[in-house]
């Protein structure tokens, strides 16, 4: 064949194979045999090998993965990947429905969908071609797993059909079907490897493998459930999904539109019984407002959309024997009793241990060694003991006496009147506390140093790192002397430690591990007090006057800085060049002077961009209109209820052009 004929043949084969992939993996209606498919694929592979100038990264031949071992690049989400609020009862769903009706007034419908139990993913397409795949991560940014996702054959690389936006994002859940999971475990056991615990962990773990050819062997699958972008086909969430299905995406056939909460509850009751017949795991139902304009009107909280919620099915429960109780010490010194159980299968996982929380929980359950206990998974994730089968209690069942001394360092335990937990007070010398503080300090939301628990243990056991400040004294010779480290990995760790010196002050403040100071609290404290010196010098009264800082957090900060060792560590961090004061955003402007905005409708730029412009010009955002609202910013398809309410309250109404003039 000449070049022109070869190019045509390659294009034909790619189109044919894409079509057959869609029929097999998405529509479940193959029209050719596996042998015929393999024959076409082999022909395409040979033609591409002979003609490398016709290479296309989205060719069907690229789904097999490769042996290149790459770490994952971090990608910031254009639209944050928020979690959904969870409910466990019909009453909570009815309350959710009531809140919606009070907020939007006009009629609405719900889209009811299965809540797939796997790993969340966000896919990006441009000009009908697959571009990138990013995990949820922390919701703000995730890992680029493009090469691994390309191996999943139900995810189209090239789209076909009408009304495909130039650019868009579609989100879904990557999962491992039951049959694949069973076959994979059988293969692993045959070669002497440990079986995987459950399909969810297998899917998530497979997605993070560094060798995409290994991912391809796992035969992962993916359902898509949420379309995002500037110019979507319709203003209906469910219709957008139906359109996306025509482009080649695998969309669940079990989506149902409910006219009211009673129909939602019928859908939930049906799937609570029928879910065990599915070929994949689900752990609940997701309920969404179907109208996108109404979704926009309802908006978001800091963590969740107000227009969607998930109903979690009741946890499965099993009986097993309590064999013993051991005690774990956390980074804050809290001592947690752990029940060691006779292994039992629960919700697809073999459970051997469960948390008993504290002494009060042990007393409440009247639990004894040798008891037959009821175990379930809270939210089907964390195993917990919920009761004892007294009828099966053996005569020699041993009562549990909570320990008086730390199992790690021997210090006498303390218990505060206002708390249920026991604490080891030896935070300066108790090994698990010291290692826990270092692990917290290097975590992603703190200093984001590229090291794990095993590395911290190795550094600690070798005596190289006894506190967080010691990380900045590490030498190449020390690191490379540890088992598992070679020249490149030692250099990478030192480079990651050096990079952490540029991490913003608020993340460092969180990383110090001050009790009760979470990431959100750290950000607010850093914004108000600016420097570590100001926080250290602040009185209890000054701290409690700060926004969102109560007496408990304030006392904890005072206690932390009254410890000479903590003060010495901070001084060392300062000498090492870390950011111990807040650097204001240079793009920050005060043009909106803390005016409170409510926004509704669609704009020429994304709503997230509008929100960023408001915040970067010192404006504030509110979800609903009230007497405290200063300006109502309207876009196209504005929510009529909000518009009417703004007029009734005489709230000034402005449009996009007016807003842009305000911030010029």
Q: Which domains are present in the chain?
A: 3-64 (1.10.287.610), 86-312 (3.30.470.30), 317-415 (2.40.50.140), 431-575 (1.10.150.20), 596-663 (3.40.50.10190)
Query: Is 645 marked active-site?
Result: no
Which residues have CB under 8 Å from 640's CB, separation 6+?
Answer: 106
Contact 586, 630 (CB under 8 A): no
Mean pLDDT of the chain: 87
pLDDT-derived band at 587 (thresholds 50, 70, 90) equals very low
Tell me the two tokens of residue 203: 């899917």
If one compares 67 and 435, the residue with the highest pLDDT of the two is 435
Over residues 149-176, mean pLDDT: 94
Provide the Cα torsion 537, 540, 546, 550; round to 10°.
140
Q: What is the pLDDT of residues 123-132, one digit of tens each?
A: 999 999 999 9
Contact 613, 663 (CB under 8 A): yes
DSSP conformational letter for 78: S
Q: What is the pLDDT of residue 225?
A: 97
Q: Which of 115, 435, 523, 642 is catalytic?
A: 115
Cβ-count burial of 443 within 10 angstroms (0-12 exposed, 13-18 middle, 19+ buried)? middle
Q: What is the pLDDT of residues 331-356, one digit of tens each?
A: 888 899 999 999 988 866 788 998 88
Angle made by CA atoms 168, 170, 172, in degrees to the nearest 5: 170
Q: Which residues pair with 620 in a beta bridge?
A: 596
Q: What is the pLDDT of residue 586?
A: 47
Residue 187 above 90 pLDDT?
no
If one compares 622 and 425, the residue with the highest pLDDT of the two is 425
Q: What is the pLDDT of residues 285-331, one digit of tens each?
A: 999 999 999 999 898 876 789 999 999 887 678 899 999 999 999 88
Q: What is the pLDDT of residue 643?
A: 80
Q: What is the pLDDT of residues 192-216, one digit of tens each?
A: 556 676 788 788 888 888 788 888 8
Please give the Cα distance from 210 to 187 (Å, whole number): 21
Tell me the two tokens of residue 195: 């079986």
**Residue 556, Ramachandran bin (φ over 0: left; ψ between -120 and 50: alpha; else beta):** alpha
Highest-pLDDT range among 347-356, 518-527, 586-595: 518-527
Token look-up 């709230």 returns 651
List C-alpha distances in Å: 530 to 122, 576, 588, 591: 36, 19, 15, 22
Q: What is the pLDDT of residue 380?
A: 45
Residue 65 above 60 pLDDT?
no
Please give the Cα distance from 501 to 275 (Å, whole number): 50
Tell me the two tokens of residue 201: 């962990």
């Amino acid at each position: 064949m000449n070049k022109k004929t070869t190019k045509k043949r390659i294009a034909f084969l790619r189109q044919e194979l894409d079509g057959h992939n869609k029929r097999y993996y998405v529509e479940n209606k193959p029209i050719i045999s596996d042998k015929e498919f393999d024959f076409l694929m082999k022909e395409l592979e040979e033609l591409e090998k002979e003609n490398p100038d016709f290479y296309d990264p989205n060719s069907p031949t690229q789904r097999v993965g490769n042996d290149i071992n790459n770490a994952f690049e971090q990608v910031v989400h254009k639209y944050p990947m928020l979690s959904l609020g969870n409910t466990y009862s019909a009453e909570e769903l009815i309350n959710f429905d009531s809140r919606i009706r009070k907020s939007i007034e006009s009629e609405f419908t719900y889209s009811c969908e299965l809540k797939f139990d796997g790993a969340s993913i966000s896919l990006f397409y441009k000009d009908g071609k697959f571009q990138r795949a990013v995990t949820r991560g922390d919701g703000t940014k995730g890992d680029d797993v493009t090469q691994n996702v390309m191996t999943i054959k139900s995810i189209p690389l090239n789209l076909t059909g009408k009304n495909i936006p130039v650019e868009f994002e579609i989100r879904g859940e990557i999962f491992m079907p039951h049959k694949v999971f069973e076959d994979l475990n059988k293969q692993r056991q045959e070669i002497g490897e440990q079986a995987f615990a459950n399909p969810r962990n297998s899917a998530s773990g497979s997605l993070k493998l560094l060798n995409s050819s290994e991912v391809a062997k796992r035969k992962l699958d993916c359902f898509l459930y949420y379309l995002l972008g500037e110019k979507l086909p319709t203003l209906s969430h469910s219709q957008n999904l139906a359109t996306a299905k025509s482009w080649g995406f695998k969309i669940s056939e079990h989506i149902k539109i409910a006219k009211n909460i009673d129909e939602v509850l019928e859908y939930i009751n049906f799937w609570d019984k029928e879910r065990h017949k599915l070929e994949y795991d689900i752990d609940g139902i997701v309920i969404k407002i179907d109208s996108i304009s109404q979704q926009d009107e309802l908006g978001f909280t800091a963590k969740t959309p107000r227009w969607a919620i998930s109903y979690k099915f009741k946890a499965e429960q099993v009986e097993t024997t309590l064999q013993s109780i051991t005690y774990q010490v956390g980074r804050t010194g809290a001592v947690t009793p752990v029940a060691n159980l006779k292994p039992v299968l629960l919700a697809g996982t073999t459970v051997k241990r469960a948390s008993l929380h504290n002494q009060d929980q042990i007393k409440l359950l009247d639990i004894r060694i040798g008891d037959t206990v009821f175990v379930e998974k809270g939210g089907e994730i964390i195993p917990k003991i919920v009761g004892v089968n007294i009828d099966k209690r053996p005569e020699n069942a041993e009562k549990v006496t909570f320990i008086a001394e730390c199992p790690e360092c021997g210090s006498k335990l303390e218990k505060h009147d206002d708390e249920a937990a026991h604490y080891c007070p030896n935070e300066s010398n108790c090994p698990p506390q010291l290692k826990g503080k270092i692990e917290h300090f290097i975590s992603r939301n703190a200093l984001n140093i590229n090291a794990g628990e095993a590395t911290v243990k190795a550094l600690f056991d070798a005596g190289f790192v006894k506190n967080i400040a010691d990380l900045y004294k590490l030498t190449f010779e020390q690191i490379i002397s540890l088992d598992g480290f070679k020249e490149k990995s030692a250099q990478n760790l030192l480079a990651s430690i050096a990079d952490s010196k540029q991490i913003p002050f608020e993340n460092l403040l969180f990383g110090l591990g001050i009790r009760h100071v979470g990431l959100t609290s750290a950000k607010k404290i850093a914004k108000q007090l600016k420097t570590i010196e100001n926080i250290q010098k602040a009185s209890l009264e000054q701290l409690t006057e700060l926004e969102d800082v109560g007496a408990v957090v304030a006392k904890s900060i005072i206690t932390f800085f009254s410890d000479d060792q903590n003060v010495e560590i901070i001084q060392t961090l300062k000498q090492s060049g870390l950011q111990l004061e807040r650097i204001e955003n240079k793009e920050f402007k005060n043009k909106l002077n803390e005016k409170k905005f409510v926004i509704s409708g669609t704009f020429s730029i994304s709503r997230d961009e509008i929100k960023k412009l408001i915040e970067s010009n010192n404006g504030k955002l509110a979800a609903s209109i009230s007497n405290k609202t200063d300006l109502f910013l309207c876009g196209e398809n504005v929510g009529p209820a909000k518009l009417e309410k703004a007029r009734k309250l005489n709230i000034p109404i402005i449009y996009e052009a007016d807003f842009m003039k305000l911030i010029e």
